[in-house]
Amino acid sequence: MLLWEDQTVVLTSPRREERNMTELDDLVKEFLIESCENLDRLDQDFVALEKDSSDPERLGSIFRTIHTIKGTCGFLGLSKLESVTHVGESLLSRLRDGEMTTSSDITNGLLAMVDAVREILSSIESTATEGNGDYTKIIENLTRLKDAGSDAQVAHAAPVAKSVEPTATSGEIHDTFEPDTQTESVAQDTETHTDPAKTGVIAAAESSKSSDASAPSSALGGIRVDVGLLDRLMNLVGELVLARNQILQFSTTLENATLSGSTQRLNLITTELQEGVMKTRMQPIGNVWSKFPRIVRDLSQMCGKKIRVEMEGRETELDKTIIEAIKDPLTHIIRNSVDHGIETPEKRLASGKTEEGRLFLRAFHEGGQVNIEIIDDGGGVHLDRVKAKGIERGLITAEQAARMTEREILNLIFLPGFSTAAKITNVSGRGVGMDVVKTNIEKIGGTVDLQSKFGEGTTLRIRIPLTLAIIPALVITSGGDRFAIPQVSLLELVRLEPEQARKGIESIRGTPVYRLRGNLLPLVNLNKQLRTETPDGLNDGTVNIVVLQADERQFGLVVDEINDTEEIVVKPLGKLFKGLTTFAGATIMGDGRVALILDVMGLALNSNVVSDSKDSAVHESESKIKDTGSPKQAMLLFRVSDTRRMAVPLSQVARLEEFPRSVIEYSGGQQAVQYRSQIMPLISLSEALADPRLQLAANSQPEKPTGDTIQVIVYTSNESSIGLVVDRIVGVVEEALVVQRNIVRPGVLGSVVIEKKVTELLDVESVIRTVLPGNTAHTPALAA
């Protein structure tokens, strides 16, 4: 941000009579950009001033900003703007000199002036005239405020008199433009107006400046750079990175000391240059946040609420394009929080909270990504209401709703069509457009996560990548071609030797799965997805698994070979490929050949990992809802004896394990195994569920030691694990269940029909309660 002093220098020096058109245009442009930046800061200053009206520094800063704008207006012949700012300046000067103190009224009046200035500026930007807005009311109001402050001396210049014909003057100057097409000025919607980005220029020096916006930052070493130029530089650096990669690869084939020496230097310089150019595009997130205090102030006044905005990590930097992309979603979320999250003071007091609500914005870097959290201590999301809404909108059925986890219900908010439009206020409706927020964030490779506790508040967490242009990627080979996988989605690599692969990869109804440290990992064969074939000679039975994360879900991508990691420059695929969701783009590899970039999300969708199976959710004790919010429930099917086919919600299953019979030990008459440095009691389901009537039947002899191993469903409750021994795991199905409770037996919740077969629903807790009475103290986090 440039200092106001700079402006005066720039703007007053060419005070020549024969200014030519372009020079003037440049001046106007410069003026617009700088004024916009200053206005953004003004909003903050005013809001801060309202809290601490005695801060002379802030008053001084506000005064200077307005003074500068006014001064420049006169010079550029923008009389309307001048008359508005003039009266504001007079009022401010009295405030600054301590003749008056600020009040809510004064702040409102001054903010209205700032809005008017914005409106005029945006009109100048789009139509090159000051617009038709009528600002006499604002001017009168400000004059009244000023005069009301003291009974004495009103002798200052009464600016109302200065009503010159503004359109005519400015039209004269800019007659190259189309005069006055914008007849109706947009009302005070602050964020749709003139932000510096629209003018196409950012201050390059801004990224290095401290986060404290109130102190006028010194930018003497700064320079304004056109964004287009930065983009071109970025592209060139991208090309350079590619060329560097090629030379690096080439130099390894030639054993030449001089060449490899220079290559090393080239490598270093390129890396530094790349970082440097990326930095020029980085902006602190505070730039977006800076307008939130004002938005919150206005909204909370409108809703009769008291809200304090706190921020942490304003200096967290993001690529400019990403900053642009998150601006609107963030604003929307903030509005939601103010309008629907935080309660009215009376309500807050009644529920034992402080009168003033707290809206906390937090940003920080973590693992190459930026986390942004918007936390409010408001009423939280009313789960039942969301449920009811979901049913009303036809997104879920009542039965489905009854079985949904808290998290699944919360995520309904992000579904398109979930709108509380019925009681929409003029601010926002919780849920209105939240699907848009989600899609916008996802478009730039980010994720949104909502947590809420009814009565206590809501936390919305956004995770987004730092930059989009150059990304680290894992290069793999499949079907003889190389592919790049963005490293953001990469969790780990697993290599199975032929022997391990034969044993380790199992199949659930035709879908291969692998037990990764006990968690079921669905496997997706890349060759199968791409309809390519492993070249002969490579197929020695070794299996390479790339464990990927797509929308909270893990899956293993089976590829032919895993090559290396590399920084790649993402290039979009042309329109010709618009139907291909499997690829996110293409890049040029070190050897000059093109490689496709896999779209992990698209791959997951195409292979149904995300939409049709919930296998990967096994590892979490919490079941996670997927994108489509399908209300179906994933059930783990197993057999307890030959006759009993049973199911348990997958969300209750922590892990599946297989133990050799030899490791079973006894502890106080109870079967147990040592598992993860704990003693895990084993419950034989066939024993526990044995119906006394059936026990006499010959074929249901419990615990027939048939194999060398036992299959165990691990159930975790409060950090302690309990193993349920079953005869055989059948698989995972996903079905909307209709429970019939007509047959009630101990340990059985009821019967359901799964895949056209009657299946008993296991009541895990009651079984544990019966067999291990000491273990019931804690209720598991997610009871069905």
Partner 1 sequence: MPDDRQFCTFLVDGLYFGIEVFQVQEVIRFQEMTRVPLASPVIKGLINLRGQIVTAIDLRRGLELADRPEGSLPMNVVVRTGDGVVSLLVDEIGEVVSTDLATFELPPETVRGTARTLIDGVYKLKGRLLLVLNTDKAVNVC
Burial bucket for residue 445 (CB in 10 Å: 0-12, 13-18, 19+)? buried
CB of 247 to partner 1, least distance (A): 14
Q: Are 105 and 153 in contact (CB under 8 A)?
A: no
Nearer to partner 1, 73 or 586 (CB): 586
Interatomic CA distance for residues 588 and 86, integer angstroms: 58
Q: Which is nearer to partner 1, 142 or 524 (CB)?
A: 524
Q: How far is CA 767 from CA 636, 682, 688, 781, in A?
A: 17, 12, 7, 17
Residues 469-499, buried b or exposed e (16+ Cβ, 10 A)?
Answer: bbbebbbbbbbeebbbbbebbbeeebebeee
Using the minimum distance from each CB to partner 1, give the nearer residue, 147 or 481. Answer: 481
**DSSP character string of 498-522:** HHHHHHHEEEETTEEEEEETTEEEE
* Residue number, 486 or 649, with CB nearest to partner 1: 486
SS3 content of the chain, % helix, strand, coil (to 5): 40, 25, 30
Nearer to partner 1, 469 or 513 (CB): 469
User: SS3 for 125-186, per residue?
Assistant: HHHCCCCCCCCHHHHHHHHHHHHHHCCCCCCCCCHHHCCCCHHHHHHHHCCCCCCCCCCCCC
Q: What is the DSSP string of 394-441?
A: TSS-HHHHHH--HHHHHHGGGSTT---GGG--SS--TTTTHHHHHHHH
CB of 674 to partner 1, least distance (A): 47
The structure tokens listed for 748 are 């059985």
When the beta carbons of 305 and 482 are compared against partner 1, the nearer one is 482
Taking the least distance from each CB to partner 1, the nearer of 543 and 596 is 596
Q: How far is the CB of 482 from partner 1 (least distance, A)?
A: 8
Contact 252, 267 (CB under 8 A): no
Contacting positions for partner 1 (CB under 8 A): 239, 242-243, 479, 481-482, 530-532, 571, 573-577, 580, 582-583, 586, 588, 592-596
Nearer to partner 1, 237 or 434 (CB): 237
DSSP three-state, residue 767:
helix
Q: How far is the CB of 583 from partner 1 (least distance, A)?
A: 7
Token code pair at residue 191: 């964020």
Give the C-alpha separation, 149 to 257, whole Å.
80
- In sequence order, what are the beta bridge partners of 673? 680
Measured from the CB atom, is 576 or 696 closer to partner 1? 576
Supply the minimum distance, in Å, between the C-beta of residue 714 and partner 1. 39
Q: How far is the CB of 533 from partner 1 (least distance, A)?
A: 11
Question: Which is nearer to partner 1, 270 or 316 (by Cβ)?
Answer: 270
Query: For partner 1, which is the closer residue by CB, 249 or 451?
Result: 249
Return the number of other C-beta atoms located less than 10 Å from residue 32's C-beta: 19
Provide the minimum distance between the beta carbon of 432 and partner 1 in the complex, in angstroms, as a whole number. 37
Amino acid at the residue 303: C
The Cα 345–Cα 382 span in angstroms is 19
Residue 602 amino acid letter: G
- Least separation in angstroms between residue 468's CB and partner 1 is 17
Beta carbon of residue 530, minimum distance to partner 1 (angstroms, whole number): 4
Pairing state between β 594-598 and 583-588 = antiparallel
**569/610 with CB nearer partner 1:** 569
Nearer to partner 1, 531 or 757 (CB): 531
126-141 burial by CB neighbour count: b if 16+ within 10 A, else e? ebbbbbebebeebbeb
- CB-nearer residue toward partner 1: 248 or 573: 573
* E strand segments, 622-719: 633-639, 645-649, 655-660, 665-667, 670-675, 678-684, 709-717
User: Cβ 13 to partner 1, closest distance in Å?
Assistant: 43
Other C-beta atoms within 10 Å of 311: how many?
17
The least distance separating partner 1 from the CB of residue 200, rounded to whole angstroms, comes to 24
**Exposed, middle or buried by CB within 10 Å (0-12, 13-18, 19+), for 761?**
buried
Ordered strands of the 678-684 beta sheet: 655-660, 709-717, 720-726, 678-684, 670-675, 665-667
Least separation in angstroms between CB 610 and partner 1: 18
Query: 725 forms bridges with which residues in the sheet?
Result: 684, 712
Find out whether 130 and 81 touch, Cβ atoms under 8 Å. Answer: yes
Specify whether the CB–CB gap between 721 and 652 falls below 8 A: no
Of 75 and 577, which CB lies nearer to partner 1 in the complex structure? 577
Q: What are phi and psi of 521, to 5 degrees?
A: -115, 110
In the complex, the smallest distance separating the C-beta of residue 253 from partner 1, rounded to whole angstroms, is 17
Closest CA to 620 of 508, 716, 516: 716
C-alpha dihedral over 209, 215, 218, 219, to 10 degrees?
Answer: 50
Q: Does residue 527 contact residue 473 with C-beta atoms inside 8 Å?
A: no
750: region left, alpha or beta (phi > 0 left; psi from -120 to 50 alpha) = left
Question: Shortest distance, CB of residue 611 to partner 1, whole angstroms?
Answer: 18
Q: Which is nearer to partner 1, 580 or 758 (CB)?
A: 580
| Least gap, CB of 471 to partner 1 (angstroms) | 16
Beta-strand relationship, 470-478 and 665-667: unpaired
Residue 755: CB atoms within 10 Å: 13
Q: Minimum distance from CB of 486 to partner 1 (Å)?
A: 17
Q: CB 582 → partner 1: shortest distance, Å? A: 6
How far apart are CB 240 and partner 1 at their closest, in Å? 10
User: In the complex with partner 1, which residue's Cβ is closer, 61 or 274?
Assistant: 274
Nearer to partner 1 by Cβ, of 81 and 568: the residue is 568
